Amino acid sequence: MENLPPEALTEIAAYFQALSEPTRLQILNLLRQQERNVGELAQLCGFTAANISRHLTMLTKHGLVARESRGTSAYYRIADESVYELCDLVCGKIAQQLQQAARKHQVFPPTQ
């Protein structure tokens, strides 16, 4: 991030904002397995198609997913595979923190 102009930092923050919503992370995780249409994603996520469409619009805007029309359906796939490297890095760090907290909790059980 060194020497980046403020405009670039704004774009970077917007990219991370696109990843800051659990439903969007769930969508990315589902698309990791295979491309899907809005209806499939809505059913798997447990949300309405309108809600999923809104999230897909955000992910598309930031270049994370790509949309392809086929007949009457639109299918979405991952456009930027590097997002998984980023997510795996963050998830690994959080898992590490949770494991450390669990070990600490075992050593120092809550007092009653």
Give the pLDDT mean for 62-81.
94
Q: What is the pTM of this model?
A: 0.81
31 in a domain, yes or no? yes
Amino acid at 87: C
Q: Do 16 and 51 share a structural domain?
A: yes
Give the pLDDT mean for 75-93.
90
Residues 44-55 have pLDDT tens digits of 999 999 999 999
Q: What is the mean pLDDT of the chain?
A: 91
Q: Is the pLDDT of residue 42 over 90?
A: yes
Give the pLDDT mean for 22-34.
95
Q: Which domain holds residue 32?
A: 6-80
Q: Do 15 and 58 share a structural domain?
A: yes
Q: What is the reported pLDDT for 87?
A: 84
Q: Do 87 and 57 share a structural domain?
A: no
Cα–Cα dist 20/79, whole Å: 18
Instruction: Please state the domain count of the chain.
Output: 2
Q: Do 96 and 72 share a structural domain?
A: no
